[in-house]
Amino acid sequence: EFARRARQLETHAGSALLGHADWRVEHLRFEDSRIVATYDWDSLAAWPETELVANSAYAFTADWTLDNVRRIPTAEDIHAYVMDYEQARGWSFSIAERRSLFAHCAHALQSSKLEWEPNTWPYLLRTEGSDLLREANS
């Protein structure tokens, strides 16, 4: 039911843009809080901007090379990421674009499993998926 509601709101209109479909902090190197290198560009995709941003919004905190760090963003982190993106972009997404973007962040769950570790995407959706769909509906 949750996935069905999310899918109904997800439209991703607009021209395809070339972007990094696997954007996450693990693929960046910093120097004095500035990004000085990005890599793992084998994940290029030609998708609408909202799909590229949504894909990175729910994965940008992941760094699978480190132990004992939070890899999965909260709904608040996702909202902040989208706001930062809009600021860098120079204009806000339209209502329809925001609806599609936040709906995309609400992915399907494995319905047979109800308990998930806190640092997983299914846990994020179980605990904050409704907030993401509320944002998609607003």
**Global pTM?**
0.75
pLDDT for 110 equals 46
pLDDT for 113 equals 56
Cα gap 129→138, rounded to integer Å = 14
pLDDT less than 70: residues of the chain? 2-3, 106-116
Kindly give the residue spans of alpha helices, DSSP state H, lying in 26-110: 49-57, 75-89, 95-104
